[in-house]
Every structure is written in structure tokens, then in C-alpha cells.
Structure 1
Amino acid sequence: MDSAVGAGTASAMSSIDPLISSNATMVGWTPEPSGRGTLSLITTCMLTMFICTWVVIHRRVYSQVTFGQLHKAALFLKAIIAPEFIAVEGLQEWSQAKKIVATCADYKDEEGKSMELIHAFYIGMLALRYKTSKSHDSARVIWPNQYVWLLQNGLVEWKDHAKWGLAKRDIEDKSNTDGFAKATALVQVFWFLAQCAMRAAHNLPLAPLESMTISYIPLFTATYFFWWFKPKDIMSPTVVELPVMTSAQREEFEDLAISYDFDDEGLPKQVSLWNVWALTPRVFEKEYGIRIKRERRQAQEIPYGGTKGGPEVTVNVAEQVVWKEEIVVAHWDPDLYGSKLWPLICVFGASFGGLHLISWDTRFPSYSELWLWRAAAMASVVSLLVFMHYPRVVLRWGGPLTMLSIISPAIYLLSRIVMICGAFAAFRWVETSLYDTYVVSDYWIHVL
């Protein structure tokens, strides 16, 4: 009986040993007298994440420098917590800029050149504004669709774009692109990936924090590609005088405004610190709103057939129907969402959680922490794919499926918190081989 119990216990222990090592092979905080230690491991990962995130961020333009810096800090936190969504934002801004350039391709300057991506990005990042009569320093954003409207109606000409602060050289001069920071980020990423690859070649484990750091790199690379021509850290907008318009033209122009939350008129939403967390509205959202309003107006006009053979009477019930303002959680560009590339975009976005599974067999301080890490990584992948399945997510009850679209980002956020906490908590008890090193000179001998 005792032997059977002993055999069963030994069998159970052997099934756990491959995942959770004995105390003899596990260590806590490890100093680094001459090699790899806990502090150097953490600082290397943190430095790689920080420099990649800071270099890739391209904030929008504010009149107040403080708001601009706070917006950059908000983007930094968003990129650390959810780099997939920053990558998608970059993709949607790039897509909008491409469409604006294509729309304005027929408008050329004296040298035969038309609008380029740098111009479209500059306008799209709220850097172009016009003066209003409310006060001497009040101004409103000229949105991309408004500028296109001005061109199409002959109120401005592209040959005069330099007078509006849209000369390519002027934009490049205002852009604070740091070549040294880019080079540093490139070298740091290359060296970090090389170290991880060499550890894998020597069958040495990676810490969960290292797996997390690797996961950021593909998404930040994609984001930087989309924002390659986007000006960086513009400190102040270009403020211009609008051309003379009729009252009807001015009304039509102002109706094209996508939002008033980013204007400089002192309104509560414009001066609120919550403004720095808001996403930059895009043209397709305005087009969607116009289409929905048109459909609602048509729905409110109910044709009523009178007596037989008599004329139909249209009953307007607009005053009887009140449409509540929607709280939009996410809205994907329909040109991207309906394209054949969207499934690939979703899979690429899900790669962030998937790459965390590099640490699938990493030994954690406890068995429960190991499975919590695995579950969180898989939950982040599934929840993101579910969330991106919906073209538009709104906070309202519309049945179980719509609730799934609202719950999925909450599950994603929870899984990210679990993975971030788990990556650092794992250092309190790790296998000793995590701190083993290899001799780099051996590789140089083979190369030479």
C-alpha cells in the first residue's frame, strides 16, 4: 500500500518537474559581478521597450505645448499597454493620408507637383487651423475633408500651399525628427534580438519579460512604417486666414468639421486634460455620421396612403423620435475592414499576445502562475480577434453579440495587466540557467 502511494507521489512529482524545478535549481534576485544578472536583464528590456516606444510615437498638434507633451505621454502609455491598437491607428492614419493624396492628385503647383503624404499627414494631425472672430487667439482646426473641399471649390489653389505653411521644407523644419534616437533604437533592437537568438541557439531560456519585449518589436516596426512620412513633435500649428466665402459656402465648410473638441476657443472639452487621451477623429467617421443622419431623416418621413386612389401624404415624425448620442469605443476604416488584407491585419495584431507564448515552457515560481501566463497570452489573442471582428463598437445593448464586442476589450486589458505583472513577478524565483551566459567570441572565430 505504502509503496503504491510512494510510486503515485513520485509519478505526480515527475509530471510537474519539467515545468516547476526544485529549489536546488531555482534562484531569486541575482547580482551580476561579471555576467548576466537580474538588474541588467530588467534594464535591458525596459530600455528596449522605452526607446522603441518613444521613437515611434508621432503625436498630434496642440496650440499649448503642455497639452502636446501630455498627449505624447498618453500615447506612450497606450503603446505600452496595447501596442496593437497604436499600430492599427497608424495604419488608419496612413490609409487616410493616401486617400487624401489620391483625391488631390489633379491639383498641382507651378513645378507640376501635387500633394504628398507629408502634407496629408500634417493636415491630418490637426496642424492647420484658421482664425475665428471670437477672439484674437481663437482658432479652429481645418480638417482634411475641409481642405479638400476648399481645393475642389476653387477657394484655394495648391500652387499657393506655401502661403498656408504647407511647403514641404517648412514642415520638415518644424518636424523634430531625431536621427540619433532612430539609430540608437535600431542598434538596441538589433542587439537585443541577436542576444535572444544566441540564447535560443545555446538552449538557454528567456525570461517572460524578454518574451514580452520581443512581442513589441514587430508592431512598433509596422507603426513606424505607417508614420514614416508623418512629421514628429510639431510644437505649434499653422494658423491661416480663410478665403472670402458666401454665407452658404461658410456654412457648408463648417458643417464638414469632424469635431470641435480640438479647436482653440476655450470650450470645456477643449481645455480638459481628458482631451489628450482622445483618439484623433478621421474623415471616414464624419462620412459615416452623414450617411446615418441621411438614413434617419428618410426613416422619419413615413409615406401614408390616404383614401383609395388618392395622393400619398408624407408624415414627418422627426419631432417624435429622439436619437441618443452614441459612445463609440472603436470604429475601423471601412476601406480597410472590407479589404482582403483585414484578416492579415488581425492576425498581425494578434501576434503580440502570440509571441508571449515563447515562454510557454519557462519555469515560473508556481504552477498556477505558469498557467495564468499561458491563459492571459491566449486570452489577449482571442479577445483582440473578437474585438477587431466588429466594424464599429458602441456602448449600447444590442443583444449578446454586441455585448461580446464590449466585453472583449475588457478581457484584453485584464490579460495585459496579468502578463505585465507576471513578467516582473517571475523574477522572484527563476531557474538558474536563466542567468547562464555564452561566449560571443566563439561566433567571431567562426565568422573570421
Structure 2
Amino acid sequence: MGGFALDIDDTDSRSAVLFNGAKRLTLTAKGVALFAQCGHILDISVDEIKDKNKADGLAKLLVCIQAGWMIIQVISRTAAGLPTTLLEVHVVAHVVCALIMYMLWWHKPRQVTSPTVLKGDWLPLTAYMYLASQMSGKVPQGKFAMFRFATPELEKLAYFEARTARREDIDQVNHCDTAQSRGTGHLGLRPTIQNLEQEGEATLQDPETEASSDLKRLAENALLLYPILQTRFAPARDGNTSGTTYRMPYVTELLQTHALDWPNDGLLRRTQSFIMGMVLWGASTVYGAIHVAAWDYFFPSQLEQLFWRLSSIWVTFCAAFWLITNLLAHVFPFIDKIWVAYNKRTLGCLSTVVISLLCILCGISYIVSRAYIVVEAFVSIRNVPKGVYDTPAWSQVFPHL
């Protein structure tokens, strides 16, 4: 839908410094949830959502009918005792997946390019969300930079003690006064990072990587204005012996430059891991099962038939395995916690190696199996039974493309 975007006042020159020149920041799903927790309920009517849709129900229905005609053809040919090619089976598998997609996305607006712009005095909250997101960190450089993610600036900070919000602080922030905020609570570098700097092993004081003082002051005041944010900080557990009381932040993706079309850390964990996972792997299971159904179909050679059987079984098994895993993770939360710990690289070394090897082997073999099925579906038409060119008489009565 283009997402929900925060419109930063482009007449204010501070935005060029505070948010790296961004004039509009898009909320992730977690960002929208945090907004609601802070009392900013997004009031979007159904009519506004429908107005963004560029495809009506009739167009979708015609697509489904045309796609479903292929399934009817294959069923009718089988009922009439006529042979079916592997290419037809392969197309049917994709048609079934397409119909599942249309069923789930029937009411989803299509080709939405413009986001729903939110306007309000949310600068402190925006600053906090910005610091908690990867876009606030320094872009990785060097080898394999494209496979690395920027570290959010908030992850380098800690919240020291607490204070009570005062109107003067908020007014100062709104005017971007660079004077130190009144009170004892503040965001600062983690003590462990400060120690590293003293030893010359950290570069956080580099102007390119240090969060600006204005952003930190805005984030501090967000913690005062929205007490719910303080629950996102946990007591330090990194061997602090200095006697200083501080809390560590929970960092996750809250803002992005634009709405992403692929699963990412900004999605709500339950939605991302379970619902989406079960739907995707459920569709993949159906995809593999349809190819398994061609077990005794005609193949140009026995070797090709063997590879087809092995590939279709493996695709079905892998998809069913991950489907069941997602289901078990929903029933038994500790399984999901293991996967979350693995993604955050906080799992034990042995467990991480075992899971990584399983994922790599399973992933590579799954891709190879899927690729073989696609190639064989086309290669096999070089030698097919004569009956594949016959069609049931009744199917010629109905107009179709």
C-alpha cells in the first residue's frame, strides 16, 4: 500500500542534518505498532484503502477463470484417458499457487505507489525510532559490504538513570536548543564502548558514526513523553563494575526509507514467522505434491523419471518440514526463541553451526530440485505420446484463450 510515512517538515533545515536529508520516513509494521502503543492510533478508513486499489473484482475474477481453465483441461484429459505432458503438470502447479495467491490477496490494493502521509508534532518520537533503525548507522564498507547491515546508533548507546519530563525540556527540544537537557537521565555511549575508546579500539567519536547530540536529546525527551518506550530498555548485563546505573535498549527496525516488498526485521514477529511462513511453505508443499502426482507419467528415459521422482519428493518434504516447523513454533514458543536467537547470532557455537549446515544443505538441494523440475518439464516434450495432441470434444465448445 505504500505504507505509512512520517512527513518531516521540509522547510526546517534541521531535517537535512538530523535524518540525513530525508524528508519522509516510512514506518515498518513494528513502527506502526509502536506508534499505537504511544497513543497515536492511525485512523484510516476502509474507503481510503479501497481508493488506492487499481484493480477491481471483475478483472481478478477473469484472471482466475482463465488460469483455472488449465486445471479443468488436465482433469478432463485424465478423465478421458488421454495422456498429459509434464509441462502441463508443471503449469498446473503454478496455476494452483497463483489461485492461492489471488485468494489471499483478493482485497489487497494493487500497484499502490504513494504512502499514507502522517503529519503531526512527532519529532522526538521520530528521532527515537530513527536511532533504533539501521538507517541511522554507518553504511558498511569494504569486502562483503553488501552482505552486512549497518548498526543502529541506539545500539551503541545506553540510558543512564531516569528523570521526569518537564515542559521546559520539550520546548527546548522543539527549538533545537543545543544546551544540555535538564535532569539526570540521558542517552550516552555504553560504558563498555567508552572503555574501548579509551584503549583506542573504538571510533564512535568519529563525526560520521556518532549520533548527533540533537538526535539524542530528542530521543531522551521521547522517553519522557512516552513512558511506554522505557519498557524497551533492559538492565545492563555486560559485567558493569563502575557502579553506574544504566539500561540497554531493545533495537529493531522501526523506520525505513520506503516500504519493502520482502520479509524483513521490520515485520511483526508473529506475522512474519508464523502466518507468512505457513502460507508460503503450505503453497510450496502443494506445488511439490502436484509434481509427485506425475509419478507414473511418460518420461523420455528412466533416468529422467528417477530424477523427477527424487526432486518432487524432496521439494515436497522440505516444504512440509518448514510448514510443520512454523506450526510447532506457534504451539511451542521455545522453538521460535531458538530461531530468533540463531538469527541474532546469540545461540551457542555448535547449535549455530548445525542449524547453518542444515539450512545450507537443505536450501541448495531444494533449489537444485526445483531447477531440475522446471528444466525437465520443457525438455520432456521432445518425446511425448501421440495422445497428448488430442483434446476432449466437449472442451472445444467453451470459448477460451
State the TM-score, normalizing by the size of structure 1: 0.49
Q: Which moved more, 1:329-338 or 1:359-368?
A: 329-338
Give secondary structure in 1 for the equivalent of 2:101: helix
Alignment match of 2:81 (pick from 196, 203, 228): 203
Q: What amino acid does structure 2 have at the position aligned with 1:301?
A: G
> How far apart, in 1, do the equivalents of 2:87 and 2:75 lie?
15
In the other structure, the counterpart of 1:15 is: none
**Residue 29 (structure 2) pairs with residue 144 (structure 1):** yes
Alignment of 1:66-215 (within 5 A): 122=1, 125-131=2-8, 133-134=15-16, 138-154=23-39, 156=40, 158=42, 161=43, 166-215=44-93
List alignment gaps of at least 5 residues for structure 1.
Answer: 1-121, 262-266, 279-289, 304-312, 319-328
> How far apart, in 2, do the equivalents of 1:343 and 1:235 lie?
28
> How far apart, in 2, do the equivalents of 1:196 and 1:157 lie?
50
Q: Deviation of residue 355 (structure 1)?
A: 0.7
Alignment match of 2:128 (pick from 232, 252, 266): 252
Q: Deviation of residue 414 (structure 1)?
A: 1.0
> How far apart, in 1, do the equivalents of 2:294 and 2:264 lie?
31
Say if 1:179 and 1:268 are closer, same or farther in 2 by CA, change over 3 A. Answer: farther
Say if 1:406 and 1:385 are closer, same or farther in 2 by CA, change over 3 A. Answer: farther
Give secondary structure in 2 for the equivalent of 1:419: helix
1:384 touches 1:409 (CA, 8 Å); kept in 2? no
Give the paired residue count: 268
- Kindly report structure 1 stretches of 4+ aligned residues shifted beyond 4 Å: 313-316, 329-334, 336-348, 393-397, 441-444
**Residue 163 (structure 2) pairs with residue 225 (structure 1):** no
Alignment of 1:420-435 (within 5 A): 420-435=374-389
Say if 1:167 and 1:260 are closer, same or farther in 2 by CA, change over 3 A. Answer: farther
Give secondary structure in 2 for the equivalent of 1:140: strand
2:53 touches 2:110 (CA, 8 Å); kept in 1? yes
Q: Deviation of residue 337 (structure 1)?
A: 9.2
Say if 1:342 and 1:414 are closer, same or farther in 2 by CA, change over 3 A. Answer: closer
> How far apart, in 1, do the equivalents of 2:367 and 2:84 lie?
24
Q: What amino acid does structure 1 have at the position aligned with 2:119?
A: E
> How far apart, in 2, do the equivalents of 1:376 and 1:250 lie?
49
Say if 1:229 and 1:409 are closer, same or farther in 2 by CA, change over 3 A. Answer: same
**Residue 281 (structure 2) pairs with residue 403 (structure 1):** no
Q: What amino acid does structure 1 have at the position aligned with 2:100?
A: A
Give secondary structure in 2 for the equivalent of 1:361: coil
2:300 touches 2:384 (CA, 8 Å); kept in 1? yes
> How far apart, in 2, do the equivalents of 1:232 and 1:340 lie?
21
Q: Deviation of residue 141 (structure 1)?
A: 0.8
> How far apart, in 2, do the equivalents of 1:360 and 1:153 lie?
57
Q: What amino acid does structure 1 have at the position aligned with 2:80?
A: H
Say if 1:268 and 1:205 are closer, same or farther in 2 by CA, change over 3 A. Answer: farther
1:145 touches 1:256 (CA, 8 Å); kept in 2? no
In the other structure, the counterpart of 1:282 is: none
**Residue 307 (structure 2) pairs with residue 369 (structure 1):** no
Cα deviations by residue, 1:117-158 (Å, 9 ceiling, x for unpaired) = xxxxx4xx535342262288732112333334334434x465
Q: Deviation of residue 188 (structure 1)?
A: 0.9
Identity %: 20
Cα deviations by residue, 1:305-344 (Å, 9 ceiling, x for unpaired) = xxxxxxxx8799x9xxxxxxxxxx9989764799799889
Say if 1:315 and 1:433 are closer, same or farther in 2 by CA, change over 3 A. Answer: farther
> How far apart, in 2, do the equivalents of 1:137 and 1:399 lie?
40
1:384 touches 1:412 (CA, 8 Å); kept in 2? no
1:205 touches 1:434 (CA, 8 Å); kept in 2? yes
Q: Deviation of residue 220 (structure 1)?
A: 2.9
> How far apart, in 2, do the equivalents of 1:344 and 1:168 lie?
25
Q: Deviation of residue 300 (structure 1)?
A: 1.9
Q: Which moved more, 1:427-436 or 1:210-219?
A: 210-219
Alignment of 1:377-388 (within 5 A): 377-387=312-322
Say if 1:217 and 1:419 are closer, same or farther in 2 by CA, change over 3 A. Answer: same
Alignment of 1:298-337 (within 5 A): 298-301=236-239, 335=270
List alignment gaps of at least 5 residues for structure 2.
Answer: 10-14, 150-228, 248-262, 327-335
**Residue 120 (structure 2) pairs with residue 242 (structure 1):** yes
Say if 1:208 and 1:143 are closer, same or farther in 2 by CA, change over 3 A. Answer: same
Give secondary structure in 2 for the equivalent of 1:300: coil
Q: Deviation of residue 244 (structure 1)?
A: 4.6
> How far apart, in 2, do the equivalents of 1:335 and 1:130 lie?
28
> How far apart, in 2, do the equivalents of 1:137 and 1:254 lie?
11
* Larger proportion of helix: 1
2:64 touches 2:99 (CA, 8 Å); kept in 1? no
Say if 1:394 and 1:422 are closer, same or farther in 2 by CA, change over 3 A. Answer: farther
1:177 touches 1:232 (CA, 8 Å); kept in 2? yes
Cα deviations by residue, 1:13-36 (Å, 9 ceiling, x for unpaired) = xxxxxxxxxxxxxxxxxxxxxxxx
Q: What amino acid does structure 2 have at the position aligned with 1:377?
A: S
